[in-house]
Chain A
Amino acid sequence: MEGKDDLNINAIYQKEMLLNSRKMRNFLYISFFNLFLGAVSLIMFYSFFMKSNYSGMIQYENIFQVFNMIGVTELGMVCVMVPLLTAGSIAGEKERKTLDSLLASNLVSYEVIIGKIFSSIGIIMHLIVSSFPIVSIVFSIGGVKITDIVKLFALCLVAAIYIGSVGVFFSAWIKRTIAATVGTYIYVLSTVFGTVFLVRIFNIFWSSNNLAVKYGGSFEQEKFMYIGLLNPFFSLSEVTCVKNKVSSLYQISLIKDSSKSWFGLSITVQLILALIFILAASKKLIPSKRKCQKQK
């Protein structure tokens, strides 16, 4: 088309980033997030390493606990903020009475959805990048590799896409901001806490009924961890925990050193789920195809 934008940037994304840049709340998000993250990191750093004044010994592996807490804080921030940013995306357009004009325009439904998700990811990325100086505290003693940091940020990005797609899905289907936000938080809480609860309950049941003896050891237990693939914190424990990794989250004993890349598996599953939610949300925006009489 004549005059087509050379960069082909999604129009919704551009508009949302323009509007976001004018809002005071983004500045407040960045400020408070970094204040909180900085406070948590420094308190943990102080509590672990100032003890050495008395004992004369430094437990270098404690830095992983600091790293773990930073990871939990960042991922927790994603889980709290992304629903707020995305659950009102489509519902908000309907409430503002701008949805009809968008649907009548040249945009196709998935472009609207993708634009909304990526604008929320843009804000999350601002927060994550702004936290680099605080996260770099983990390099002060060593032990944490740069690849671990990259994995952490990749995880946050995937979690933002995953939870963002859930938010947009609820927003497209429910079409009321508050209800969509509640729905998204219920999903997040179910995957974060619900999966842990389910697996631990089953684990207790498994152990108390000697099912390990009946079914040949803990090998079968490991299969229950697959439910954790839905949980972003499952992926986080693979990155930030030194010992026992994901199994510690679900308190399942792994009898062999599993060669499975739970991290790779979990982010793949979450991205596939994100794609499903995006497609479902796009389908909702398409005018419902009713049976039309055959016309020439």
Chain B
Amino acid sequence: MLQLENISIAYGKCKVVEDLNLDIAEGEMFGLVGPSGAGKTSILRVIAGIIKPNGGAVRVDDINIVVNEKKRKRMIGYLPADFGSYESLKVSEYLQFYASTYGYGGKKTTEVCNQALSFVHLEQRENELVDGLSRGMKQQLSLARSIIHNPRVLVLDEPYSGVDPIALKEIKKILVKLRQLGKTILITSHMLPEISDICTSFGVLDRGKMIIHGKTEEVITSINVINPIVIQILEGEEKALKILKEEVLVRTVSIEDKRIAITFSGDEYEQAKLLTKLTNSGVLIGSYNRIKGDFDALFNAIVHQPDLNGGER
């Protein structure tokens, strides 16, 4: 549904994003994570049409929205990272203004605004000044603004930024509802645990390149190099350490009590061979298991390790 084809973005001589390809199916919620400066906001701004890419295309249902401005404005709902408001405007007036920018008028304006407000649970705040709302409510209002024209695709830049836990929960519920309504959502965040539990798929962006992307469960479980293997040694600890340190496919070795944790870049077959080597050397193994990595560890390892799967970054 939403396809990014060879997207390149540069600010002057500084290349921010280079030949990015991404395909998000309809109804998916895709979490885009990465460190500051990775290019997440630039990608969202290209999709929203605020900046043009240096190369590539953004397609929604095979329509290149980089060149087709009218269709893009109807199809895309954008929530920027910073909430901006106009002083002295009430919540209802704020939404009515944005509804009018999409061509709504008269009774239809009131109808769509009321619908948007009740969707984000702000209907009781319609006569309050926007400036008087809390940060979390402003984000909810911003979300209402981005869906007021009933877009098919939502691009949300750090919707959780600066909100309290209660508001965060509220925003998550709203996003899940939107996904259930069939909206395709692209969301960026630094708060990985919050993204991981509602996103159906996610990608990690670093220095303008997508390092990894896919279904959430697949990414979590498929990266062997990230998930440590913990081996409980009953006897032959020193021998085990020597073998493991000499092994090319073992990236890191750490020991605590009699438990050795390693990160291993080989496949399951190579794992089995390593275990066999240890036992043949007289090492007595009590238990062996792979820890399912958490997202923070995954993120840090992917972003900071120079060579993830033997390829260059």
Chain B, 1-36, contact with A by CB distance < 8 Å: what is the 0/1 string? 000011000000000000000000000000000000
8 Å CB contacts to A: which residues of B95-128?
97-98, 100-109, 111
> Taking the nearest CB of chain B, how far is it from the CB of A120, in angstroms?
16
Q: Which of A97, A106, A292 contacts B80 (CB 8 A)?
A: A97
B50 touches A103 (CB 8 A): yes
Instruction: Take A6-B105, A292-B53 as given contacts and tell me if A100 and B88 are in contact as well, using a CB distance cutoff of 8 Å.
Output: no
Q: Which residues on A sit within 8 Å (CB–CB) of B102?
A: 105-106
Bound CA span A73–B105, Å: 40
Q: Which residues on B sit within 8 Å (CB–CB) of A22?
A: 88
> Taking the nearest CB of chain B, how far is it from the CB of A118, in angstroms?
15
Write the chain B residue with the least CB distance to A93.
B84
8 Å CB contacts to A: which residues of B50-88?
50-57, 64, 66-67, 73-74, 76, 78, 80, 82-88
Bound CA span A18–B93, Å: 9
Q: Which residues on A sit within 8 Å (CB–CB) of B109?
A: 3, 5
Q: Which of B67, B73, B74, B105 contacts A4 (CB 8 A)?
A: B105
Write the chain A residue with the least CB distance to B54.
A290
> Taking the nearest CB of chain A, how far is it from the CB of B311, in angstroms?
24
Q: Which of A4, A6, A23, A104 contacts B78 (CB 8 A)?
A: A104
Instruction: Take A3-B107, A14-B97 as given contacts and tell me if A292 and B56 are in contact as well, using a CB distance cutoff of 8 Å.
Output: yes
Q: Which residues on B sit within 8 Å (CB–CB) of A105?
A: 73, 98, 101-102
> Taking the nearest CB of chain B, how far is it from the CB of A7, in angstroms?
8
Q: Which residues on A sit within 8 Å (CB–CB) of B51?
A: 287-288
> Taking the nearest CB of chain A, how far is it from the CB of B267, in angstroms?
37
B57 touches A292 (CB 8 A): yes
A293 touches B56 (CB 8 A): yes
B52 touches A98 (CB 8 A): no
> Taking the nearest CB of chain A, how far is it from the CB of B70, in angstroms?
8
Summed over the interface, the residue pairs from A and B with CB atoms below 8 Å come to a total of 112
> Does B179 reach chain A (CB closer than 8 Å)?
no
> Taking the nearest CB of chain A, how far is it from the CB of B10, in angstroms?
8
Bound CA span A1–B101, Å: 12
Q: Which residues on A sit within 8 Å (CB–CB) of B5?
A: 295
* Count of residues in A whose CB is under 8 Å from the partner chain: 35
8 Å CB contacts to A: which residues of B128-154?
145, 149
Q: Which residues on B sit within 8 Å (CB–CB) of A96?
A: 84-86
Bound CA span A7–B109, Å: 14
> Does B48 reach chain A (CB closer than 8 Å)?
yes
Bound CA span A15–B45, Å: 25
> Taking the nearest CB of chain A, how far is it from the CB of B33, in angstroms?
21
> Does A107 reach chain B (CB closer than 8 Å)?
yes
8 Å CB contacts to B: which residues of A87-110?
93, 96-107
Q: Which of A19, A106, A291, A292 contacts B101 (CB 8 A)?
A: A106
Q: Which residues on A sit within 8 Å (CB–CB) of B228?
A: none
Q: Which residues on A sit within 8 Å (CB–CB) of B220?
A: none
A106 touches B73 (CB 8 A): yes
> Does A289 reach chain B (CB closer than 8 Å)?
yes
B52 touches A106 (CB 8 A): no
B45 touches A100 (CB 8 A): yes
Size category of the B interface is 35 or more
B80 touches A100 (CB 8 A): yes
Write the chain A residue with the least CB distance to B110.
A3
> Taking the nearest CB of chain B, how far is it from the CB of A284, in angstroms?
13
A100 touches B103 (CB 8 A): no
> Does B39 reach chain A (CB closer than 8 Å)?
no
Bound CA span A192–B145, Å: 44
Write the chain A residue with the least CB distance to B6.
A293
Q: Which residues on A sit within 8 Å (CB–CB) of B108?
A: 2-3
> Does A43 reach chain B (CB closer than 8 Å)?
no
> Does B284 reach chain A (CB closer than 8 Å)?
no
Q: Which residues on A sit within 8 Å (CB–CB) of B52?
A: 287-290, 292
A104 touches B106 (CB 8 A): no
Bound CA span A11–B108, Å: 15
> Does B49 reach chain A (CB closer than 8 Å)?
yes
8 Å CB contacts to A: which residues of B283-301?
none
> Taking the nearest CB of chain A, how far is it from the CB of B144, in angstroms?
12
Q: Which residues on A sit within 8 Å (CB–CB) of B105?
A: 3-7
A295 touches B98 (CB 8 A): no
Instruction: Take A106-B74, A295-B5 as given contacts and tell me if A101 and B49 are in contact as well, using a CB distance cutoff of 8 Å.
Output: no
B100 touches A11 (CB 8 A): yes
A3 touches B53 (CB 8 A): no
A106 touches B49 (CB 8 A): no
Extra A-B contacts (14), CB below 8 Å, given A97-B83, A104-B80: A3-B103, A14-B100, A98-B84, A100-B48, A101-B84, A103-B50, A104-B48, A105-B73, A106-B101, A106-B102, A290-B54, A292-B53, A293-B6, A295-B57
A-B contact pairs, 28 of them (CB 8 A): A2-B108, A3-B105, A3-B107, A4-B103, A4-B105, A15-B86, A18-B89, A19-B86, A19-B87, A96-B85, A99-B84, A100-B45, A100-B80, A101-B78, A101-B84, A101-B98, A101-B145, A104-B48, A104-B49, A104-B50, A104-B73, A104-B80, A105-B102, A106-B101, A107-B101, A290-B55, A292-B57, A293-B6
- 9 tightest Cβ-Cβ pairs between the two chains A and B: A3-B108, A5-B105, A97-B84, A98-B84, A11-B100, A105-B101, A97-B82, A104-B78, A295-B57
